[in-house]
Amino acid sequence: MEDILFYIFAAGTLLSAFLMVASRNPVNSAMFLIVSFVGIAALFVMLESYFLAVIQVLVYAGAVVVLFLFIIMLLDVEDSDKIRPKIFTIVAGGLAFALLAIGVLGLFASGAGGPEPELPMRTAASLSRNFGYQLFTKYMLPFQMIGFLLLAAMVGVIYISKKGPTASSDEPEKE
């Protein structure tokens, strides 16, 4: 039963991820991204990591994709249908995919990626308390640094997007 569910969710995640890249309409892409994220959340549930699953849905499928949709609507992209990938891009992408596939198959053929026996759980990842303890003791320093990272990002967004007298008057035409 669990195996079947795993295959269903994994296939759904992969398929929607592929459709997200291949889809011509950006709004459709964002929708497929949500499906993909929900599939990953389902995989987390099967690993008994309920907290991660909830975060995955709340933050990624909820907040992040909604933000994407806002921006797509604001930009009002119309010409995206006309942009076709070049032959060179398709060939290069196909080649990269083939190389990766050979690598992964080689991994399985060598037995290194083979089925591993089930392992006992170290700490219950379902409890948000465990994350909290780690975050505020051992990983306090990276936690504080992320605060500065977000501040820098915020200052940057405000700086780059704010309206005002642009500095350089002799703006060149980009060839």
Partner 1 sequence: MNDRLAIYSEMAQENSWLSILPEISLGVLALLLLVLEMTLPKERQGLILRLALFGQVVILLAGVVFSSLFGVATEHTSFNGLLMHSVRGDVMRLFFLLCSLLVCHLGHQYASRRGLPQVEFIHLVLIVTAGLMLLAQSHNFILLFVALETVTVGFYILVSYSRGSLYSLEAGLKYLILGAFSSAILLFGIVLLYGAGGNPQLPGSSGDPMNFALLGSFIEANPDNILVLAGTVLVLCGVAFKIGAVPFQIWIPDVYQGAPIPVTAFLAVASKAGGFIVLIILVQGPFAPLERVLVPMLGAIAILTILFGNLGALSQKNVKRLMGLSGIAHAGYMLLGIVASFQVPWAANAVVFYLFTYLLASFAIFGVMNNMGPLEDGDMTLDDFKDLARKNPYNAAVLAIGLGSLAGIPPLAGFIGKLLIFIAAFKAGLYGLLGVAVIGVVLSIYYYFGWILEVYFWPSLVKAESEETIEPSGPGLIPAANSHRIVLGCLTAGTLILGFYQGALSYLL
Binding site for partner 1 (CB under 8 A): 103, 107, 110, 112-113, 116-117, 119-120, 122, 133, 136-142, 145-146, 148-149, 151-153, 155-156, 159-160, 165-172, 174
Q: Identify the CA nearest to 61 among candidates 16, 110, 94.
A: 16
Distance, in Å, from the CA atom of 139 to the CA atom of 33, rounded to the nearest integer, reads: 30
Residue 1 CB, shortest distance to partner 1, in Å, is: 25
Nearer to partner 1, 2 or 168 (CB): 168
Q: Which is nearer to partner 1, 60 or 139 (CB)?
A: 139
CB of 61 to partner 1, least distance (A): 19
The owner of tokens 């005002």 is 164
Sequence-distant (6+) residues with CB within 8 A of 93 are 85
**Structure-token match 């980009």, residue found:** 174
Residue nearer to partner 1 on the CB measure, 1 or 168: 168
- Token pair, residue 46, equals 């099967």
Nearer to partner 1, 4 or 164 (CB): 164
